[in-house]
Amino acid sequence: EIDNPNLLRGGDIAALDWLDTVGVTRSTEFRQDRFLAAVDWTSSEPFRLAYVVRAVSPGSYHLPAATVEDMYRPDYRARSDEGRVTVTD
């Protein structure tokens, strides 16, 4: 499950301050199966987005690719690699 940091105690995400993602997003939406973010980024420099997931059941899971697209220029898009996540007891 994706955790919404707005519902967590502040100390629960303190360890993520190294990500340096403050101020990047215009809006975020935390759904049960995905994280959505809107950014207004005009720089050619890269930026980072991150989300926290919480394991609720042990097993091996598909990690879908992250995708990004420009709402006004649909030919500007990118996709990360897919992966697997294994949760053990």
Contacts (Cβ under 8 Å, ≥6 apart) of 85 = 53, 60, 61, 63
pLDDT digits (tens, 9 = 90+) for 63-78: 889 898 888 888 989 9
Q: Both tokens of residue 73?
A: 């220029």
The label of the residue with tokens 């420099």 reads 45
Give pLDDT, residue 75.
92
pLDDT of the residue at 30: 77
Residue type, 3: D
Residue 9's pLDDT band, with cuts at 50, 70 and 90, is low
Half-sphere exposure of 59 (CA within 13 A, CB side): 7
As beta bridge partners, residue 67 has: 79
Closest CA to 39 of 69, 66, 13: 69
* Overall pTM surpassing 0.95 (yes/no): no
